[in-house]
Amino acid sequence: MTSAHQLKHSRAVPRRKALISGAGVAGPALAFWLNRLGFEVTVVEKAPALRSGGYPVDLRGTALEVVRRMGILPRLRDAHIDLRRLTFLAADGGEVASVHPHSVTGGVAGHDLEVRRGDLSDALHAAVRDDVEFLSNDAIATLDEHDHGIDVAFRGGGTRRFDVVFGADGLHSHTRRMLWGPEEQFHRYLGYCFAVFTMPNTFGLSHETVMWNTPGRAAALYAVGDHDDVHAFLNFAHPHPPFGAFPDPRAQRALVESAFADAGWEVPGMLAAMRDGNDLFFDAVSQIRTPRWSDGRVALVGDAAWAPSFLTGQGTSLALVGAYMLAASLADRDHSSGFAAYELDTRGFVTANQALVGKGGATLFPTTAQALEERNARLRELTSIPPTKARPAHSALVLPDFMPVV
Ligand SMILES: Cc1cc2nc3c(=O)[nH]c(=O)nc-3n(C[C@H](O)[C@H](O)[C@H](O)COP(=O)(O)OP(=O)(O)OC[C@H]3O[C@@H](n4cnc5c(N)ncnc54)[C@H](O)[C@@H]3O)c2cc1C
């Protein structure tokens, strides 16, 4: 029963209303912490349902402390996929080197986690779904900010007023476009495009990745378990970001087919699986760099604000840490000083992690014959040295305490 004191308190201090666009990683993590702070939270997601399964993502450094504070670390430890081997192949399919994945990624064995994106998504949703309103298959149509809040019209119909709105809607953020215009201004293309899709594991692979390289092209098979499908991955150098292909799966397939038309190894079978499958994910390998992360009552978080690209392996970790920092900044401040504090306290961490990009690209996707030969020589040496230490950037932020840990 509600006590007289609670009633008085809730009348005196109306709950702040927050709308989050995007239910990927940053969205539900932010929803979790804002709900703990007493916000009334709505999450709107354009997809009709959560995507299960999915490619593996890494959780490292400070992000592990975020999921520990959320109470989902044990569940994620159970979901750890424990990739044990990364084998590099030459153009003729011969082995160049076989190393522990951490030798290349800078992960720390026994500490860092690698989980299917869908398993992380399930854990995040389980932690918030009873306390937060989720609207799926819908999106923000327009934002109209004024002194008393921000009126949001939804594509599915209806208008509602919120105190704050958050864009957690990924690399191609629609919220960012509504604030500041076309993505091209903030898109820092790193020179590659990639396609990921699943195909049957007819290769006998288990907890391992096999990667075939020729200059400017890489094809990889990720086996996250013994019997699951493999995640097929095709990455290729391309002179400019194919903005026209982002909304067009047929154009995406055509680009990938032409880049790998004469490729050897298992690539012809991978292309056939891509043609026949229905879970193709295609994108440019790019970062997002914006001079600010908020405007008025709207703030961005995760890939929408600072996508670091998968070459850093830090997109998921930055999304989780960013969501925590954004909520923490609002614990005892209004949106305007809170958003300023969020950016001040988080930007250095994000910048340090975005800077990791050079290491990933040079190792995984050399674009010239000489760079590939040098990479292969380095890899042959790696087999004889112990796994690397953690990269300092992964832990370069100490989380503030803003509420009791669950
Ligand atoms: C193939 C691949 C491999 C990767 N590997 C790694 C890795 O090893 N390690 C790692 O840390 N990271 C990796 N990443 C990156 C990682 O997935 C992202 O950085 C991370 O998911 C970012 O989280 P986010 O919540 O900001 O964005 P997202 O996870 O992209 O979520 C955005 C959400 O917003 C929704 N949305 C989009 N537009 C709208 C709209 N208009 N309205 C409402 N909802 C909308 C989307 O449907 C999605 O659910 C990889 C990414 C890819 C594609």
| Atom from ligand 1 closest to the CA of residue 23 | 49
DSSP bridge pairs for 59: 113
Ligand 1 cavity residues, CB under 6 Å: 21-27, 44-47, 55-58, 117, 139, 168-170, 174, 196, 281, 283, 302-304, 310, 313-317, 319
Q: What is the rounded CA–CA span in Å between residue 47 and residue 44? A: 9
pLDDT of residue 386: 54
Ligand 1: centre distance to CA 142 (Å) = 22
> In this structure, what is the dihedral angle of CA atoms 178, 184, 186, 191, given to the nearest 10 degrees?
150
DSSP 221: E
pTM for this structure? 0.92
Instruction: List phi, psi (to 5°) of 205.
Output: -85, 145
Ligand 1: centre distance to CA 302 (Å) = 8
Q: Percentages helix, strand, coil for the chain, rounded to the nearest 5?
A: 35, 25, 35
DSSP 389: P
Asked whether the beta carbons of 250 and 276 are under 8 A apart, the reply is no
Task: Kindly write down the DSSP assignment for every residue of 103-119, as one continuous string.
Answer: HHH---TTTSEEEEHHH
pLDDT of residue 254: 96
SS3 246: coil
Give the residue, by CA position, lying nearest to ligand 1 atom 12. Answer: 315
Side-chain-side CA neighbours of residue 330 (13 Å): 28
Give the residue, by CA position, lying nearest to ligand 1 atom 27. Answer: 170
pLDDT of residue 107: 65
Q: What is the rounded CA–CA span in Å between residue 235 and residue 213? A: 10
Which residue matches tokens 């760099």? 289
Could you tell me which residues come within 8 angstroms of residue 295 by beta carbon, excluding any fewer than 6 positions away? 179, 180
pLDDT of residue 227: 73
Give the residue, by CA position, lying nearest to ligand 1 atom 50. Answer: 310
| Atom from ligand 1 closest to the CA of residue 233 | 1
pLDDT of residue 100: 81
Give the residue, by CA position, lying nearest to ligand 1 atom 19. Answer: 315
Instruction: Encode the chain (406 residues) as per-residue pLDDT tens digits.
Output: 333 344 444 445 689 999 999 999 999 999 999 999 999 999 999 999 877 667 889 999 999 999 999 999 999 999 998 888 899 999 999 999 998 877 776 666 667 899 999 999 999 999 999 999 999 999 999 999 999 999 999 999 999 999 999 999 999 999 999 999 999 999 999 999 999 999 999 999 999 999 999 999 999 999 987 777 899 999 999 999 998 898 899 999 999 999 999 999 999 999 999 999 988 999 999 999 999 999 999 999 999 999 999 899 999 999 999 999 999 999 999 999 999 999 999 999 999 999 998 766 677 889 999 999 999 998 888 765 555 667 899 999 999 998 765 4
| Cα distances (angstroms) measured from residue 59 to each of 83, 116, 200, 317, 402 | 14, 11, 26, 5, 22
Give the residue, by CA position, lying nearest to ligand 1 atom 49. Answer: 24
Asked whether the beta carbons of 241 and 251 are under 8 A apart, the reply is no
pLDDT of residue 378: 87
DSSP 131: T
The predicted-structure confidence for 286-323, as pLDDT tens digits, reads as follows 999 999 999 999 999 999 999 999 899 999 999 999 99
Give the residue, by CA position, lying nearest to ligand 1 atom 29. Answer: 24
| Atom from ligand 1 closest to the CA of residue 304 | 26
| Atom from ligand 1 closest to the CA of residue 25 | 25
pLDDT of residue 387: 55
Q: What is the rounded CA–CA span in Å between residue 252 and residue 15? A: 45
pLDDT of residue 405: 54
Give the residue, by CA position, lying nearest to ligand 1 atom 18. Answer: 315
pLDDT of residue 52: 67
Ligand 1: centre distance to CA 357 (Å) = 17
Residue 377: Cβ-neighbour burial (10 angstroms; 0-12, 13-18, 19+): exposed
Ligand 1, pocket-test mutation among 32, 42, 44, 46, most atoms within 8 A of CB = 46
Ligand 1, pocket-test mutation among 19, 57, 350, most atoms within 8 A of CB = 57
Give the residue, by CA position, lying nearest to ligand 1 atom 1. Answer: 196
Could you tell me which residues come within 8 angstroms of residue 138 by beta carbon, excluding any fewer than 6 positions away? 44, 45, 46, 154, 155, 156
pLDDT of residue 270: 97
